């Protein structure tokens, strides 16, 4: 059985990541990329689907664990009757191939340690052939090859195709293991010295963390979230994956299980803002450049998400041999929502590129041509229904958030042209579009009886995305319609003191059975909105409650189950950590992120 979602910590090398449980077991690792097949998939099945456990003999969960300072180097310690042992887990910066390094160190006394390594390629399905070459264990199956080097002697058992190790460490002794993946048709990769790699990895992360310019309240939480966002970055392209996992359920035992190992356009603005405000301009520029490459082409073909390097084909299929986390089936690879029409992403792209320009990121001459092309398409199509922000797998509707973001696209285009008169385009036409969208949303998307914006035109359902209306500048925070919407969402979407994404009922708009937890990003949005309308005490209290949901090493999943009091959904979730950073920055300034004031927003 896999541990609770919050029992896991993250290690990674900026191209893939592993989840390490409190029991010393690595239960999830995709090689060589975030979106590759998993070599350890016990997280979605059992030990037979691949894992690597290293812990004191007979021990359960570690006594304590923490990251070493402001790094992604994990240290777990077990106190046993015969002594204390520490295991240090990390993935060094990649040279030729990905490496997982585990160092066992005797802290006191003498401790017997056991290791158990089961490699199962292709999401726990393919058992490799293991042989011994030059003192290494080499596991090969098809295109995949793993070289396993250990300082203590290991044994490979034939029946369960498992590599075992048993050894004792005394105080001051260290024993290292290195697992390296590479394509099976290529020569053996260079050996990594585990102890040198540890020193260099710590140094790399400390130097990166030192660049953070945020020194306000909750700095530790902000820094850990920024490190997590960096860890979810695919360094070769600059893209940031939504999470390191697939199919961790939004409800234990339910079917709302999706693959999040891709890059979503709607994360762009909020992520860009968090990086810029924290001083990480290099990362912000890389994310902006990834965005420009991904959206290049026919604006009618704009997708809501792309692969790590901008790949467009992300076909969804079910992995039938995995039972799913806590029996939550199906396990999905790929994401069929890639083919949906979600008009809000045009607004997110335009807002991101506007923010990048305003923050002084290096100018890209072709960016404006792309923006003009996107606006030409949106101008002709913003009145169409779509699947909306939450990737509804039901009928298309006129979602209010999608229309608001169409307004954002027109607004940022107008602002850009007013600030840079030399840019080509019909600014009067886009001013007219901005006014038309605003008028329609206020007429068709607002429930005057309840004084709140709704989820879609003509509905009575609520949507947490309407909390973003003051943030994006559609209406000012003191507008009675904004205050009414905040009140309605806070009361109507409450789930154990946090916020649901939208109303979940028998005939829910999303067309799916079952329930889901409180969505953490939406809960951070509520804190932002409360601060924006002047309710700073409530905003701060909600933020502190959200911080209390982090696990012992500061990580957040996608959602929180207030009944089971557990984290649920894919983990760690970039959107949750972006929300944490932006809310902390806003509260530290005494308000939510301000709307650019170059043009007053209409009332």
Global pTM value: 0.94
**What is the reported pLDDT for 394?**
80
**What is the reported pLDDT for 132?**
85
Angle between helices 536-547 and 520-532 (to 10 degrees): 160
Name the β-bridge partners of 40.
Answer: 29
Sign of CA dihedral 341, 342, 343, 348: negative
pLDDT at 220 over 60: yes
Half-sphere exposure of 180 (CA within 13 A, CB side): 24
DSSP 47-79: GGG-EEEEEETT--S-SEEEESSSSS-EEEEEE
**What is the reported pLDDT for 513?**
63
pLDDT at 484 over 60: yes
pLDDT at 552 over 80: yes
Distance, in Å, from the CA atom of 401 to the CA atom of 512, rounded to the nearest integer, reads: 21
Give the model's confidence band at 595: pLDDT under 50 very low, under 70 low, under 90 confident, else very high: very low
> Domain 5-209, what architecture?
Distorted Sandwich (2.70)
Least confident window among 111-120, 508-517, 553-562, 567-576 = 508-517
Specify the residue for token string 């084909």: 313
Asked if 51 and 42 count as a contact pair (C-beta separation under 8 A), the reply is: yes
Distance, in Å, from the CA atom of 280 to the CA atom of 545, rounded to the nearest integer, reads: 27
Structure tokens at 22: 């409190």
CATH 2.70.98 domain span(s) along the chain: 5-209
**What is the reported pLDDT for 269?**
81
| Segment 47-79, tens digit of pLDDT | 999 999 999 999 999 999 999 999 999 999 999
SS3 content of the chain, % helix, strand, coil (to 5): 35, 25, 40
Largest Cα separation within the chain, whole Å, is 78
Specify the residue for token string 């009361």: 491
What backbone torsions phi and psi does residue 381 show, to the nearest 5 degrees?
-130, 0
Specify the residue for token string 């240290």: 75
pLDDT at 134 over 90: no
Percent of the chain with pLDDT over 90: 84
Asked if 472 and 527 count as a contact pair (C-beta separation under 8 A), the reply is: no
CATH dotted code for 219-588: 1.50.10.10
Give the model's confidence band at 593: pLDDT under 50 very low, under 70 low, under 90 confident, else very high: very low
CATH 1.50.10.10 domain span(s) along the chain: 219-588
Distance, in Å, from the CA atom of 530 to the CA atom of 486, rounded to the nearest integer, reads: 7
Structure tokens at 230: 């960096």
Give the model's confidence band at 599: pLDDT under 50 very low, under 70 low, under 90 confident, else very high: very low
**What is the reported pLDDT for 365?**
85
**What is the reported pLDDT for 477?**
97
Give the model's confidence band at 600: pLDDT under 50 very low, under 70 low, under 90 confident, else very high: very low
Average pLDDT over residues 180-190: 92
Asked if 396 and 510 count as a contact pair (C-beta separation under 8 A), the reply is: no
**What is the reported pLDDT for 161?**
80
Specify the residue for token string 């602002």: 415
Closest to 395 (Cα-Cα) out of 257, 255, 511, 515:
511
| Segment 415-437, tens digit of pLDDT | 999 999 889 999 999 999 999 99
**How far lies 223's CA from each of 220, 241, 308, 381, in Å?**
5, 18, 24, 41
DSSP state of 476: -
Average pLDDT over residues 153-159: 60
pLDDT at 536 over 70: yes
| Segment 284-298, tens digit of pLDDT | 999 999 999 999 888
Closest to 240 (Cα-Cα) out of 282, 304, 291:
291
pLDDT at 218 over 90: yes
| Segment 345-397, tens digit of pLDDT | 999 999 999 999 998 899 888 999 999 999 999 999 999 999 999 988 788 99
Q: What's the mean pLDDT when you consider all of the chain?
A: 93
Specify the higher pLDDT residue, 600 or 396: 396
Asked if 141 and 181 count as a contact pair (C-beta separation under 8 A), the reply is: no
Give the model's confidence band at 1: pLDDT under 50 very low, under 70 low, under 90 confident, else very high: low
């Amino acid at each position: 059985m896999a541990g609770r979602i919050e029992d896991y910590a993250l290690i990674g090398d900026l191209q893939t990541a592993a989840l390490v449980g409190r029991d010393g077991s690595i239960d999830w690792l995709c090689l060589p990329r975030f979106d590759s097949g998993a070599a350890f998939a016990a997280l979605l099945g059992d030990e037979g689907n691949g894992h690597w456990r290293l812990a004191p003999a007979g021990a359960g969960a570690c006594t304590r664990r923490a990251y070493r300072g402001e790094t992604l180097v994990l240290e777990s310690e077990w106190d046993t009757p015969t002594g204390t042992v520490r295991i240090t887990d990390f993935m060094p910066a990649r040279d030729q191939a990905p490496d997982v390094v585990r160092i066992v160190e005797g802290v006191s006394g003498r401790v017997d340690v056991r290791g158990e390594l089961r490699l199962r390629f292709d999401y726990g399905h393919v058992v490799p052939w293991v042989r011994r070459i030059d003192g290494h264990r080499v596991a090969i199956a098809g295109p995949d090859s793993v070289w396993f080097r250990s300082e203590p002697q290991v044994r490979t058992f034939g029946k369960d195709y498992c590599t075992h190790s048993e050894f004792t460490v005394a105080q001051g002794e260290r024993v290292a293991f290195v697992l390296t993946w590479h394509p099976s048709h290529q020569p053996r990769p260079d050996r990594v010295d585990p102890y040198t790699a540890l020193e260099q990895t710590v140094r790399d992360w400390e130097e990166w963390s030192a660049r953070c310019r945020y020194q306000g309240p909750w700095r530790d939480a902000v820094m850990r979230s920024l490190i997590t966002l960096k860890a979810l970055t695919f360094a070769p392209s600059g893209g940031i994956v939504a999470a390191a996992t697939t199919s961790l359920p939004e409800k234990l035992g339910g079917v709302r299980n999706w693959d999040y190992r891709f890059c979503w356009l709607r994360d762009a603005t909020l992520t860009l803002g968090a990086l810029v405000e924290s001083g990480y301009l290099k990362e912000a520029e890389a994310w902006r450049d990834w965005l420009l490459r991904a959206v290049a082409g026919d604006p009618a073909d704009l997708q809501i998400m792309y692969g790590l390097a901008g790949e467009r084909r992300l076909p969804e299929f079910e992995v039938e041999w995995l039972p799913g986390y806590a029996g939550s089936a199906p396990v999905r690879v790929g994401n069929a929502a890639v083919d949906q029409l979600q008009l809000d992403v045009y607004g997110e792209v335009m807002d991101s590129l506007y923010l990048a320009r305003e923050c002084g990121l290096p100018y890209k001459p072709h960016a404006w041509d792309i923006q003009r092309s996107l606006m030409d398409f949106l101008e002709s199509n913003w009145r169409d229904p779509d699947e909306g922000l939450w990737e509804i797998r039901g009928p298309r509707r006129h979602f209010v958030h999608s229309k608001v973001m169409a307004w954002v696209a027109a607004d940022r285009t107008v602002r850009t042209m007013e600030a840079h008169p030399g840019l080509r385009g019909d600014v009067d036409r886009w001013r007219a579009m901005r006014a038309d969208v605003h008028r329609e949303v206020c007429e068709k998307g607002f429930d005057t009886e309840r004084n709140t914006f709704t989820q879609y035109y003509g509905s009575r359902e609520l949507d947490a995305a309407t909390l973003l209306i003051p943030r994006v500048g559609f209406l000012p925070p003191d507008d009675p319609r904004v205050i009414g919407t905040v009140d309605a969402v806070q009361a109507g979407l409450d789930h154990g003191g946090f916020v649901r994404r939208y109303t979940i009922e028998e005939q829910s708009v999303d067309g799916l059975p079952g329930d889901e937890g409180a969505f953490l990003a939406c809960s951070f949005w509520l804190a932002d909105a409360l601060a924006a309308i002047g309710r700073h005490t409530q905003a701060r209290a909600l933020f502190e409650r959200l911080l209390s949901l982090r696990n012992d090493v500061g990580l957040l999943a996608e959602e929180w189950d207030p009944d089971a009091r557990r984290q649920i959904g894919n983990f760690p979730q970039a959107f949750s950590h972006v929300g944490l950073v932006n809310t902390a920055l806003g509260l530290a300034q005494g308000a939510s992120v301000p709307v650019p004031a170059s043009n007053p927003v209409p009332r």
